[in-house]
Chain A
Amino acid sequence: MSSALIGRAMLGFYFLAFFGFLFGPLIVMSVTAFNTPEYPQVWPFEQFTFAWFQKLAQDDNLMQGLQNSFIIGAFVVALAVPMGLAGAIVMTQVYAPARGLYYLVVVSPVLTPGVIIGISTVIFWKDVTGFTGAQSLFTGMFLATLGQSTFIASYCMLIFLSRLQRYDRTQEEAALDLGASRGQVFLHILLPFLRPAVVSAAVIAFLSSFENYNTTTFAILADKTLTTVLAGRVRQGMTPAISAMAVLIIAVTVAGAILYEAAKARERRDAAV
């Protein structure tokens, strides 16, 4: 065997091992979702079935969690994307020497452990709602949305910042010179330029919210999301219904990733102009 062939074989083996390591668990789990035994099992594959998906649909707790996850995700997108956009725009306007400090401050939620964010969200809002008499707001859904938004807004800001780096300020000046107001410059020039980044940020924000556990498990209080219900279930023992759930989540994630890549491709195409 020539050394080139050995090299090729080793590379092939490496790829197999690498992708096996990455996707093996997902594939195994997906297969168990379609197998009949009560405990998740790949081999022997007894019979192909959709029964676990039906069982899943009848599982009110899981369904409630799933629904909550979608609702929280939607609100997080609505909150974190504008906050991230505002943070990024402020960053470009801040007095240049203070930029480093500002950056550190607004990025810090990303670096803070999610657990801490979850706990501090609860403590902070317990006091705030207590003092202001707005106790009705002190719900898991509300807190989870706010807690997640803090660090997800920072993610969004990073996405906007990288796009803003390629922003040509003279376009703003050109629009102003032609008679546009500041507001019109924002709407007609800056926002269209940032549109691909808005799409990216929304997708990332939703996915991060949907899969979040660390912050949510504390902030959710008596409510539930998909991840908190699943965590409870796994402790009681696995069933193929959870595998079925996983298949659905993988499908959602892949769809999200494709959407995200499409947005990136559009961004690249616009940048090429």
Chain B
Amino acid sequence: MSADIDIDHVTIRFGDFVAVKDVSLKIAGGEFFSILGPSGCGKTTILRTVSGFLAPTAGTVRIGGKDMAGVGPNKRPTALIFQNLALFPLMSVAENIGYGLRVRGVPGKERRRKADELLSLVALPGSGDKRIGELSGGQKQRVAIARALAVEPQVLLLDEPLSALDLRLRQHMRTELRAIQKRVGVTFIYITHDQGEALTMSDRVAVMNHGVVEQVGDGHAVYDSPATPFVASFVGENNGVSGRISAVADGFAQIDTALGSLKGRAGAGLEPGAAATLFVRPERLRPAAEGIAAMVSATAFEGHLTHVGLSCADGHSLTMSLGRDIGAHALTPGAEVRIGYNPAEAIVLRQEAR
């Protein structure tokens, strides 16, 4: 069972500080939804509001169509996986998982059966009698997930649950989390400041900054068509070149920059004379006969890709990532090159007035 969530014009203040500013998100039942943003942008605050530990200063949270105002965290159909997991160290693994059932009056035998079942689901069969202190980081993670799933929540809220793990385990747990979500079909709201994590796992991503949702969309939309300069530079690697718009036509914009007049797809609200930035991804840059004049400053070989550092006019630097088939080996530091790109693969975004 899964429920949809409607976060409707929610604002959350701590004293004078506005942690979340007029956020509206509609999350469908069964969706894997991620909230991505830098540290301190208000991700945990939103999650605590959905789970009932914080009341919104303004706005409404609805779960499964029901207004949650005045409904305590122990009465909501949500389960939260805490940033620090918050497992109960004095209880065994099985007791941890069965705790939600215990407070619902489910008898011990039944709890144990359910705990064992969930332990197999999270690939930890037979660890029910272990103590929490005996588990590795990744195992604790899975116990926390099993504990949350035991109460059969309609919504599972995950607060950067993988941040404490090393890279390899994190990648493994990502696949596993996604698989678990598919199996149980519960709505997931997943919080992270790791953009790779958000892109690989989610159906849709909301990108937040300073308490504001800057863009909501699937991975492709957020990566290929960022709505704001913040999204363009926060999600993935990007080259940004600032300047002034000289012309807008047919969905493309021409922008005057220190590197010359450049062209890219036009974002919203552009008009000639406006301050804007052109973003083009490193993997979209190519050596070309005509284009931006640059000098190779460094190269970094990363297996399938070679990252080439370029210094251009006016002290500007760009990064270009080349696959093996393109002759990156010819680009040694000091070499003079010209760089081009397909304007359809670059985007020009209006500089926000902040």
Which A residues are within 8 Å of any B CB, using their own CB? 168, 170-171, 173-181, 184, 188-189, 192-193, 270, 272-273
Q: How extensive is the interface on chain B, given as a class?
A: 20 to 34
Give every chain B residue within 8 A of A193 (Cβ-Cβ): 90
Q: Which of A177, A181, A189, A272 contacts B88 (CB 8 A)?
A: A189
Write the chain B residue with the least CB distance to A168. Answer: B86
Write the chain B residue with the least CB distance to A189. Answer: B88
In the A-B complex, the 3 residue pairs with the smallest Cβ-Cβ separation, listed nearest first, are: A178-B100, A273-B133, A174-B86
A32 to chain B, nearest CB (A): 48
Known: A171-B88, A273-B89. A179 touches B104 (CB 8 A): yes
Give every chain A residue within 8 A of B53 (Cβ-Cβ): 173, 177
Q: Which of B75, B86, B100, B133 contacts A173 (CB 8 A)?
A: B86
B72 on the interface (CB 8 Å rule)? yes
Write the chain B residue with the least CB distance to A170. Answer: B86
The docked-state distance in angstroms from the alpha carbon of A177 to that of B100 is 9
Give every chain A residue within 8 A of B151 (Cβ-Cβ): 178-179
The docked-state distance in angstroms from the alpha carbon of A175 to that of B52 is 13
The docked-state distance in angstroms from the alpha carbon of A193 to that of B89 is 9
Q: Is the CB of B131 within 8 A of A273?
A: yes
The docked-state distance in angstroms from the alpha carbon of A170 to that of B144 is 13
A22 to chain B, nearest CB (A): 38
Q: Is the CB of A184 within 8 A of B103?
A: yes
Q: Which of A170, A171, A179, A273 contacts B103 (CB 8 A)?
A: A179
Q: Is the CB of A174 within 8 A of B82?
A: yes
B80 on the interface (CB 8 Å rule)? yes
Q: Which of B80, B89, B104, B132 contacts A177 (CB 8 A)?
A: B80
Give every chain A residue within 8 A of B100 (Cβ-Cβ): 178-179
Q: Is the CB of A173 within 8 A of B89?
A: no
A189 to chain B, nearest CB (A): 7
Q: Is the CB of B99 within 8 A of A177?
A: no
B73 on the interface (CB 8 Å rule)? yes
The docked-state distance in angstroms from the alpha carbon of A68 to that of B151 is 52
B78 on the interface (CB 8 Å rule)? yes
B199 to chain A, nearest CB (A): 28
Q: Which of B52, B72, B147 contacts A178 (CB 8 A)?
A: B147
Seed contacts A179-B104, A273-B131; 4 additional CB < 8 Å A-B pairs: A171-B88, A177-B73, A177-B80, A192-B90
